[in-house]
Amino acid sequence: MSIIPDNNDFKTEHNITRKNPVVKAESLDSDKNFENSIRPKSFEAYIGQSALKETLKITIEAAKKREQPLDHLLFYGPPGLGKTTLAGVIAEQMGVNIRITSAPALERPRDIIGILMSLKGGEILFIDEIHRLNKVAEEILYPAMEDFFLDMTTGKSQTVKTLRVPLPKFTLIGATTKAGELSGPLRDRFGIIHRLEFYTEDELAKVITRTAGILNIEITEEGARAIAKRSRGTPRIANRLVKRVSDFALVKHDGKITEKVANDSLDILKIDAFGLDTTDRSLLKLIIEKYDGGPVGVETIAAAIGEDVRTIEDVCEPYLLQAGLLQRTPRGRKVSPAAYRHLGITDRDINDQKSLWN
């Protein structure tokens, strides 16, 4: 009989399973692992969200001192701002494993029950898009989050019995782009709720320089800043653009990303000075040209530009709203005067357009 455990996790006296950092196996042979390898693993390497980082550091320190798992945490905000990355940093700092899943993958009761029952003490369960969790899964989660129990029922109608199955203490980290769509009872069970903010140009330039360093891409400070300007306040977009621009730099130039190389490549990719792509611009143009600047319903916009409503609401709109180009009103979406200016559309163009329609 082997007495060597199949991993080198160890338990503290309070039954929290901690990872042995020496034996963390990471294979670098797939894209997923490569993506993970550019994810920062510490608060020092994680750029931006400074206020949030400071409060998290204190929360983590306190939980460690008490030898207790962290309170359940909810992160909300637009996609691509680093909610999953931050959950990974927290796990790393707590020295525990993280299990990552998303609400659409927890369709059947047995999906969520299976994950909960496989957790070890202190581990982190990360559920992305938690606003999409179905009612049954949510109700399974309530006692699990609150008292670390699963309420299982056996038998039928009159002989039905409820069995309370204990679970190890764990931390749930939920992430959502739509905090408003979370049910009240679920939201109330999170001890800590934080919003992630869009990144400044400075912060994005640092993210870009860091990623370029990991990818062995040569980039100047001005090159990083040029990409940062067009990254919509979002590190995920910044990281994607570094790779795309690097392709251009390699094929059309000497491989180095300078300000000019970055700007020329981004122009070719049709990403404008605000970071808007063709979908964003078609959305704004549609509202201006066909609906007189709005208001118009999101379903109508989606049908007209051939995108689904969720992509428009979750991906396009947060930045357009933040940039002051679009407004949400009870009667639908409206563009702002800044959107006309950005697209170079004047009153005269509008009048010409109207005379064509009338």
Minimum CB separation of residue 195 from ligand ADE in Å reads 15
User: Which of these is catalytic: 83, 210, 230, 333?
Assistant: 83
Count the neighbouring beta carbons within 10 Å of the beta carbon of residue 137: 19
Cβ contacts of 177-185, under 8 Å, gap ≥ 24: 177/76, 177/77, 177/78, 177/79, 177/129, 177/131, 177/314, 177/318, 178/76, 178/131, 178/314, 179/74, 179/76, 179/131, 181/131, 182/74, 182/130, 182/131, 183/138, 185/138, 185/142
**Dist CA 5 CA 143 (whole Å):** 31
Q: In the numeric block, which tokens belong to residue 9? A: 């996790």
* 128 in catalytic set: yes
> Does residue 295 have a cis peptide bond before it, meaning omega lies within 30 degrees of 0?
yes
* 84 in catalytic set: yes
Q: What DSSP designation does 324 have?
A: T
Residue placing its CB nearer to ligand ADE in the complex, 204 or 283 = 204
Residue placing its CB nearer to ligand ADE in the complex, 237 or 283 = 237
338-357 binders of ligand ADE (CB under 6 A): none
260-299 binders of ligand ADE (CB under 6 A): none
Decide: helix, strand or coil at residue 172: strand
* 290 in catalytic set: no
Which range, of 23-31, 46-54, 295-303, 347-355, touches ligand ADE by CB under 6 A?
A: 46-54
Q: In the numeric block, which tokens belong to residue 290? A: 């066909």
Considering Cα of 24, then 19, then 73, then 162, what sign does the dihedral take? positive
Phi-psi region of 80 (alpha: psi -120 to 50; beta: other; left: phi over 0): left
Q: Which residue among 46, 170, 291, 340 contacts ligand ADE (CB under 6 A)? A: 46
The mark string for 61-90 relative to ligand ADE (x by CB under 6 A, - otherwise) is ---------------------x--x-----
Which range, of 41-49, 110-118, 303-311, 337-345, touches ligand ADE by CB under 6 A?
A: 41-49
Q: Which residue among 40, 78, 293, 294 contacts ligand ADE (CB under 6 A)? A: 40
**Dist CA 237 CA 204 (whole Å):** 10
Instruction: Report if residue 47 touches ligand ADE, rule: CB under 6 A.
Output: yes
**Dist CA 108 CA 135 (whole Å):** 11
Residue placing its CB nearer to ligand ADE in the complex, 47 or 316 = 47
Residue placing its CB nearer to ligand ADE in the complex, 234 or 263 = 234
Burial of 161 (0-12, 13-18, 19+ CB in 10 A): exposed
* # residues near ligand ADE by CB under 6 A: 10
Residue placing its CB nearer to ligand ADE in the complex, 85 or 97 = 85
User: Which of these is catalytic: 17, 176, 177, 211?
Assistant: 177
Residue placing its CB nearer to ligand ADE in the complex, 40 or 78 = 40
Minimum CB separation of residue 353 from ligand ADE in Å reads 41
Which range, of 23-31, 43-51, 129-137, 311-319, touches ligand ADE by CB under 6 A?
A: 43-51
First to last CA, the chain: 87
Residue showing tokens 């525990």:
96
* 346 in catalytic set: no
197-236 binders of ligand ADE (CB under 6 A): 207, 210, 235
Q: Which residues here bind ligand ADE, judged by CB under 6 A?
A: 40, 46-48, 82, 85, 207, 210, 235, 239
As annotated, the active-site residues are 83-84, 128, 177, 236
